[in-house]
Amino acid sequence: MLQRSRLLNQVPRYSRALLGAQQSVRNLELHEHNAKDLLARHGVRVQRGIVAHTPEEAFNNAVELRATGARDLIVKSQILAGGRGKGTFDTGFKGGVKICDSPEQIQSMTAQMLGNWLTTNQTPPEGQKVSKVLIHEGVDFDREFYFAILLEREYDGPVIVGSPMGGMDIEEVAENHPEALKMIPVDIKEGLTKAKAREMAEFMGFEGEEVISDAMVQMEGLFDLFMKNDCVQVEINPMVQTTKAHYDSKVYCVDAKLGFDEFTQFRNKEIFTWKDETMMDPREAAAEKVGLNYVGLDGNIGCMVNGAGLAMGTMDTISLYGGSPANFLDVGGGATESQVEQAFQILTDDKNVKCILVNIFGGIMKCDIIASGVVNAARSIDLEAKGIPLVVRLAGTNVEKGRQILAESGLTIQSAGDLNEAAQKAAALVN
């Protein structure tokens, strides 16, 4: 995503890791079939498609599409990652997207995908398990474009982004061909005007008044979706112009990636029922259920903090002293003792964690509450028996009372006066 690429270049290493991962926690992402259903509701042109959970279902779906006029048939693995067409399954089978000639071939390709793990350049190393596929009609096209709507801090609101170089990695386009990207801010009070939609359609390279007008209609529908559903991202890659021979040069959105602000769940209840928790890190899902925010990383020092900014500083300071954060876990400003204990359980479920660093600045969250939760969690989980050392830095409201609770606990807890000392101690314990 373009906005993420720009931001990642401005923050240190572990802040980058957090920023990239945190989007997947705070922002709901949908499977392609859900995204396309939502696009269609807003008048955006997409291919007809039907979801299948078995090879037999896929065959029947293909037969139904053929009977209603589909020429080409496509089977697409449904995972929450891009690059599926170039991905590889754990069985060695290559390609999570296949163009097929017949329902029988659709059934055969589906059997190679379902139940197996697909790895792409956007998945974790182990990949994601394919539990369903989308069978949809193909369209013939000879031109591909990129279009997105993003929230851009620089403009205090949404921007539309377009490029004539669709179907490619947009970060690569931004780095190597910046002149091929155009960003236009949109005033939310006046919405996407026809003038701005036309400016973008012409920049992207749509030609002919009829096609330009059609592209504008698709953009207006996408902006309507963006505004009415509390989106933080609408990304179409590619948006295509079909060939005249069969489709009379229509504009289609053939792949869609949507992101929604999770804090707006109360306004978008139906959309949030589409969340696929099987695609989430189990630790992230467990943390979400108890009101915590967890992002897994690849180090060995478990971090428990209150606040995203403090988390970024903590992880970068750990890195500065030669350590490697295993995660970001934010207990927020109003965590209970029970939530702190659950946070420790989630941290210790990661077999890579060799040390836990607690860094709390007490404001709304009081240090004595955190200290009591830490002591109870350490006893309940029996950190000492697990051989996981604990470093705690407290500052702010009721800090002296919190330190007293730690000191009188009878547990082996290493206290630290500031973040530098805490990070040094944690790094030394694992190196």
**Which positions are catalytic?**
146, 235
Beta strand 117-119 pairing with 128-129: antiparallel
Bin 159: left if φ > 0, else alpha if -120 < ψ < 50, else beta.
beta
Instruction: Give the helix/strand (H/E) hosting 77.
Output: strand 73-77
Beta-bridge partners for 395: 361
* Residue 152: HSE in the Cβ half-sphere, 13 Å Cα cutoff: 20
- How far apart (Å, rounded) are the C-alpha atoms in residues 84 and 110? 14
Count other Cβ atoms within 10 Å, centred on residue 352: 14
Instruction: Tell me which amino acid residue 430 is.
Output: V
Strand order in the sheet with 327-330: 293-296, 327-330, 301-305, 355-362, 390-396, 413-416
Q: Is 189 left (phi over 0), alpha (psi -120 to 50) or beta?
A: alpha
Contact 192, 149 (CB under 8 A): no
Beta strands 355-362 and 390-396: pairing type? parallel
What is the rounded CA–CA span in Å between residue 352 and residue 326? 7
| 181: nearest Cα among 194, 162, 157, 160 | 162
- Gyration radius of the chain's alpha carbons: 25
Query: What DSSP state is assigned to residue 45?
Result: -
For the packed helices 367-381 and 399-407, what is the interaxial angle rounded to 10 degrees? Answer: 20
CA dihedral in degrees (202, 205, 209, 215; nearest 10)? -80
Question: Hey, how many other C-beta atoms are within 10 angstroms of the C-beta on 268?
Answer: 18
- For residue 174, the 8-state DSSP code is H
